[in-house]
Structure 1
Amino acid sequence: MWKDFGFRRNLYDTHPVSGDAQGERLLVGRQDELKRIKSRITGFKTVVTIEGPNGVGKTSVVLVGGYQIENDTKDNGKGSLVLMPDPFQLNAEESAIDFKRKVYAEIASYFIKHEAKMRSQLDLQFSLGPLEAWLENPLNLSGSVAAAGFGLGGGRVPNESVGFDLHGFFSLVDRLLKAAFNEDGGVICIVDNLEILNTSQIARQRLESLRDDLFSKHGIRWVLCGARGIVRSAASSQRLQGRLQEPIEIAPLNGDSIRDLIQARVAEFKIDNSAIPPVSSKSFAYAFRVLNENLRDTLKFCGDFSLWLHDSNQSWEDEAHLDELFEIWLAEQSHAYMDAINVPPRAWKLLDEICLQGGSISPSDHKDYGFNSSQNMRGQVQRLEQAGLVVSELEDTDQRRKTISVVAKGWLVRHHRSGYEKHEKSQDAY
């Protein structure tokens, strides 16, 4: 499909950019954030934390920052910092030991995959064979074997004790990290999407369980990313104070950067010099504004429009014609959403008021929206939730709603209900 448009891949991919040279070219408008992230990773051994709205691009910034640090330190020998390219995620069902096994397996796999590069950069003087053997057959390698690659003896023997084998594996990775890095070096590990733990209480518990083990390991630098205030709440834990840095806030891209973002993707993926992107920088900025400056949602809808354009065999004369088609298509999407929704007038009024407040409110402010109590407001919130227009977070202690936020569908419906007006910022701002 994209080759039909004159590009070698999706211009509007919603996944984070990769931590490599291409990702560095595609990441625009984030120089200040990159500088702050890099200084915290290289200057401190405590856990770096990142906060920002869902879909703002936090992971992309951290991955590119890690890539730049790896480039900057690649000649430092044991003082090098190496980016683990795939972020980790915590979940509520996972124990601390399960998460540690996942992290150590990824570190071991990375060293094995890049053994030649690791040897040239870090001057490793031992075999990685025992690591590879354990990963291939973790139930058949004893703790004594785990030390074999470091000249401590041992051999392959059957062993039915999973815990014993796992302890040997952990010891081997710890020895690898100590042999590979000095106090300035290590691997950069990212924990992403902390908000999937649902409540800050669960997040605090999971992070506290890792405090004295993974977060204090020689050779590992940590970055935690989350949305909706969950990182800041977890960082307030008494047990985590001094281990977690104050969060770096990642805000939505500004208007000039939105233009640059599309231009960077066009330049990166164009295979036909005359190719015109299905969604221009102007139309992208328009959707970005309609969707309350959520980058991931904007990329998603621009991809959907591209698919519609291709499947419907639409023809166009120039970029201006495409811009017109996009506005019509986006209006039709919002109209279709609107037709499928049935909520009472009071719920519509509440949605409008939430949007006017920037898209997020707290039930504790119920009087500001004409309700006698948060319980009275809850009925209208539930109508909006059932229609898929807002989502609510829950309070840790008593499961009451504490934040009500408008989602992409809600912003598109708002766009329809307001007569497709351009809210908040003028067209010139983009």
Structure 2
Amino acid sequence: MPSKMWESLGFRENPYNTKPLNISKQDVELLMGRENEQIDFLTAIESEEQGIFVLSGVPGVGKTSFLNVQQFLLESGEADFGPRLLAARQLCPIQQYDEPKFIAQRCIQSFCKSIEEYCNITNKSVPSETSKVSAWIHQNKPATINFGLSYLGTGVTAGREVHLPSVQSTTFETLAEIIETLSLEVKNKLNFEGSFIVLDNIENLQDDELSQCLTTFRDTLFTIPNIWWILIGQSGLSSLIQSTNPKVFQRLSAGIELKPISVENLIKAVDIRVKTFHETKNNGSSLITKKVYLKLFESSNGEIRFVFKYCQNICIKLVQLIRKELVEKNQKMTVESFNRLMGQHLIKNQIDDDFSHTCLNVIVREEFEGYYHSTEEKQILKRIGELGKVNSKDFKEFSEFGIKTMQDFTQNVLIKFREQQLLLRRQEGKKITYELRGISVFAMEYGLLNE
């Protein structure tokens, strides 16, 4: 739906939308700088009928966008090579303290939803057992499902009929059989070669929980025919699995650690979004200058989502300012009056850099002050910034702030600031480092850590 705010700035839609790219044809060309990774991914998926693929990278690097584009290409048959697989239109989110059985239940919910959405988009009937499973998993009432259905020619050979108790009372082994039944229907009823199931944010589990989950899945869910399991997590996920569960690591089919795209590809990404969403198609330009959005890119360690978020926020600040000025001057909010005032802030159809930096200062200050950090906490963040990177063993560097143990430093500083998205966590095997991230980089630059 068109946005009046973006229309007032010359765009049909928000060119700085921070949401992941969709599983759709129109979003394929918006993915920039991932040609090599695309070949690696599609080749790995083509190599086996089922498997486990690890997709990792720092927050905001574009993992979900990358995966969604690949899913569209494979599902639609538009990929240069690779099998036709049903896309996971609903990811299975992993939450802290999740047990394997709860995750399996959520996988069923996500799988059913993906099948139903595909059928809705293509005007196909939802397969019969999928409909039964979907009703069972959502209503939490006993149901009867046919396991092991096979389709030969025009006939149907039934497996065994199973009476399912409530969701909570169903065993893990039965949940695995349900997923296999859904997989069979996707293949035989919807004519796909297989399906994707995606476990998202798997690093939310503690190391021992992750190891337990993967061990449980190793010889059960991960062996279901025609299912490609995609494990999405933060940087270093493959090496974490290798160090915590070598047997599962040996089962991994492949993996990609997505690195930030290059500056050149960021510029292309902005340009293609402007071209796609500007009202004039080919004659528009980014409202935010290259100098400003490259500064955002550098400060965020290459987080595309961070860049687009603050480009969007600067544009919102501009519109707010103009509308407030019109109210103060008792002028009607017409297109003409809005454009006249907007012109005072634009240089060659782009927002003046000084105005952009002033907006950033205000935005960062507002967000940072919302954490209500104490003076000591700000000083700790500043020290981390001065050191560049820290790990748990660096706790002695912070003794003047009353930090006496490694555990205290890890739990009450590093993990806390990371959860507030002020620190970036990098992992290689069991080695973990932290550094300032995004807004905290700007907070240090703007002197907010000195206040």
TM-score normalized with structure 1 length:
0.76
Q: Does the residue aligned with 1:279 lie in a helix, a strand or coil?
A: coil
1:57 to 43, 51, 62: 62
Give, as a single letter, the amino acid of the residue that structure 1 aligns with 2:145: G
Give, as a single letter, the amino acid of the residue that structure 2 aligns with 1:265: R
State the distance in 1 between where 2:114 and 2:51 align: 23
How far residue 366 of structure 1 moved from its aligned partner, in angstroms, is 5.8
Matches within 5 A, 1:1-400: 1-44=5-48, 45-72=50-77, 80-115=84-119, 128-136=127-135, 139=141, 141-143=143-145, 150-152=156-158, 163=169, 169-170=178-179, 172-177=181-186, 179=188, 185-197=193-205, 199-236=206-243, 237-245=245-253, 247-273=255-281, 276-313=285-322, 315=342, 316-318=345-347, 319=349, 321-334=351-364, 343=375, 347=380, 350-354=383-387, 357=388, 360-365=389-394, 375=404, 390-391=422-423
CA contact (8 A) 2:46 2:81 kept: no
2:443 to 413, 417, 424: 413
Q: Does the residue aligned with 2:51 lie in a helix, a strand or coil?
A: coil
- Segments of 5+ residues of structure 2 without an aligned counterpart are 323-340
Aligned length: 401
Q: Does the residue aligned with 1:47 lie in a helix, a strand or coil?
A: strand
Give, as a single letter, the amino acid of the residue that structure 1 aligns with 2:127: L
1:153-183, Cα deviation, whole Å (9 max, x unpaired): 999x99766557976855632542564699x
Q: Does the residue aligned with 1:70 lie in a helix, a strand or coil?
A: helix
TM-score normalized with structure 2 length:
0.73
State the distance in 2 between where 1:38 and 1:379 align: 44
Give, as a single letter, the amino acid of the residue that structure 2 aligns with 1:128: P
State the distance in 2 between where 1:406 and 1:26 align: 29
Structure 1 residues 294, 229: CA separation in 2 closer, same or farther (over 3 Å shift)?
same
Give, as a single letter, the amino acid of the residue that structure 1 aligns with 2:143: L
CA contact (8 A) 1:187 1:219 kept: yes
State the distance in 1 between where 2:263 and 2:9 align: 25
How far residue 306 of structure 1 moved from its aligned partner, in angstroms, is 1.5
State the distance in 2 between where 1:325 and 1:141 align: 62
CA contact (8 A) 2:54 2:230 kept: yes
Does 378-387 or 207-216 show the bigger shift?
A: 378-387
CA contact (8 A) 1:189 1:220 kept: yes
Q: Does the residue aligned with 1:225 lie in a helix, a strand or coil?
A: strand
How far residue 94 of structure 1 moved from its aligned partner, in angstroms, is 3.5
State the distance in 1 between where 2:382 and 2:147 align: 68
Structure 1 residues 352, 215: CA separation in 2 closer, same or farther (over 3 Å shift)?
same
Residue matched to 2:333: none
How far residue 36 of structure 1 moved from its aligned partner, in angstroms, is 1.4
State the distance in 2 between where 1:133 and 1:352 align: 55
State the distance in 1 between where 2:360 and 2:79 align: 47
CA contact (8 A) 1:8 1:271 kept: yes
Q: Does the residue aligned with 2:13 lie in a helix, a strand or coil?
A: coil
Structure 1 residues 375, 38: CA separation in 2 closer, same or farther (over 3 Å shift)?
farther
Identity rate, percent: 19
Structure 1 residues 90, 209: CA separation in 2 closer, same or farther (over 3 Å shift)?
farther
CA contact (8 A) 2:286 2:350 kept: no
Structure 1 residues 181, 3: CA separation in 2 closer, same or farther (over 3 Å shift)?
closer
State the distance in 2 between where 1:230 and 1:282 align: 33
Structure 1 residues 159, 393: CA separation in 2 closer, same or farther (over 3 Å shift)?
closer
State the distance in 2 between where 1:208 and 1:131 align: 27
Structure 1 residues 80, 394: CA separation in 2 closer, same or farther (over 3 Å shift)?
closer
State the distance in 2 between where 1:141 and 1:386 align: 46
CA contact (8 A) 1:88 1:189 kept: yes
Does 63-72 or 343-352 show the bigger shift?
A: 343-352
How far residue 342 of structure 1 moved from its aligned partner, in angstroms, is 5.2
- Segments of 5+ residues of structure 1 without an aligned counterpart are 121-125, 419-430
Structure 1 residues 178, 61: CA separation in 2 closer, same or farther (over 3 Å shift)?
closer
Give, as a single letter, the amino acid of the residue that structure 2 aligns with 1:143: I
CA contact (8 A) 1:46 1:242 kept: no
State the distance in 2 between where 1:325 and 1:10 align: 20
CA contact (8 A) 1:13 1:299 kept: yes
CA contact (8 A) 2:42 2:81 kept: no
Please report the RMSD computed on the Cα atoms of aligned residues, expressed in angstroms: 4.4
